[in-house]
Amino acid sequence: MLRDEKLSPIFANDFHVHTSYSPCAKIKSEATPLEMVGKSEELGMKTIGFSDHFVQFPPYPTPKWKDCNVKMIESLQNDVVKIHTQVQILIGVEADVVAKDKLSIDKRFAKELDYVIVSASHFHLPGIEKPKSTNILDIAQHYVNRLKIALSFDFVSIIAHPFKTPYNPLGSPLDYLNKIPLGQLYDIAKISKQKKIAMEINAILGIDKDYLTAISDFIAVCKEVGVKFTYGSDAHNKTALVPSSGIEKAINALNLKPSDFLKTNELIQNHKSAFD
Ligand SMILES: [Zn+2]
Ligand SMILES: [Zn+2]
């Protein structure tokens, strides 16, 4: 994106942004909350949603995340109150489905946040339950089952990078997504719609052509059913907040319009309504 070009409204609200508190943010000085907000201001963003990895209690998806707890969120909150900006800053988390019927966050703490992203597909991490075999049908059903577990919690706001595992340890999304019957995709979409849980359009779609091809049917089904989407850069440094030309093309290829995306006040409202 060129500096003078106006930011597309889709990228103006980025709800999946890591800070230096995430262990995987390698260049800490390029990912402090202040640096991230500064960059978002420069880009003309309206909302930046911080969503560091979060594990409230053991078991840990990876031992590296043992300090990604309530104290970490308190530190982040303390940093954020000191930042003066026009950009709306939200504090969320990227939590995990760690095992059957088990998230890395509970409802009581979720209430303290602006929203909750859940990843149901971090299968590259040692502490996340794997499929029962390497059979492609078992892999496909494992993705479906874990996603359904995430959707069964009413305080979940967004599913992170649906059906995508970093580094593809279970094979290409093209292989396992092809093995999920269309009816199951409709089931997932209907539950998401009913629970007001959004599906994330992750910036990795701008780079990973297999994921883009594989996910297109699911995105079309979600759109048809009326599920909303959110954009997530998944940035771990400030440069990654800049939308690539690839992600713009991917969003066009998926036929998504700004009206398909959740607005900031809708996200906050959906989250609040889980605690009424
Ligand atoms: Zn993730
Ligand atoms: Zn992330």
Q: Is 3 part of a structural domain of the chain? A: no
Q: Is 185 part of a structural domain of the chain? A: yes
Q: Tell me the CA–centroid distance for residue 118 and ligand 2, in Å.
A: 10
Q: Tell me the CA–centroid distance for residue 4 and ligand 1, in Å.
A: 31
Q: Is 2 part of a structural domain of the chain? A: no
Output the pLDDT for position 5.
66
- Residues of the domain holding 221: 9-273
Output the pLDDT for position 102.
94
pTM: 0.97
Q: Is 210 part of a structural domain of the chain? A: yes
Q: Can you give the pLDDT of all 276 residues of the chain as single tens digits? A: 555 568 999 999 999 999 999 999 989 999 999 999 999 999 999 999 999 999 999 999 999 999 999 999 999 999 999 999 999 999 999 999 999 999 999 999 999 999 999 999 999 999 999 999 999 999 999 999 999 999 999 999 999 999 999 999 999 999 999 999 999 999 999 999 999 999 999 999 999 999 999 999 999 999 999 999 999 999 999 999 999 999 999 999 999 999 999 999 999 999 999 998
Q: Tell me the CA–centroid distance for residue 201 and ligand 1, in Å.
A: 12
Q: Is 4 part of a structural domain of the chain? A: no
Q: Is 96 part of a structural domain of the chain? A: yes
Q: Tell me the CA–centroid distance for residue 50 and ligand 1, in Å.
A: 13
Output the pLDDT for position 36.
98
Total domains in the fold of the chain: 1
Q: Is 136 part of a structural domain of the chain? A: yes
Residue 7 CB neighbour total at 10 angstroms? 15
Q: Is 1 part of a structural domain of the chain? A: no
Output the pLDDT for position 6.
81
Whole-angstrom CA distances from 177 to 14, 73, 144, 206 are 26, 35, 10, 18
The CATH number covering residue 49 comes to 3.20.20.140
Q: Tell me the CA–centroid distance for residue 234 and ligand 2, in Å.
A: 5
Output the pLDDT for position 56.
97
Q: Please, which residues have CB less than 5 A from ligand 2, an ion?
A: 94, 234
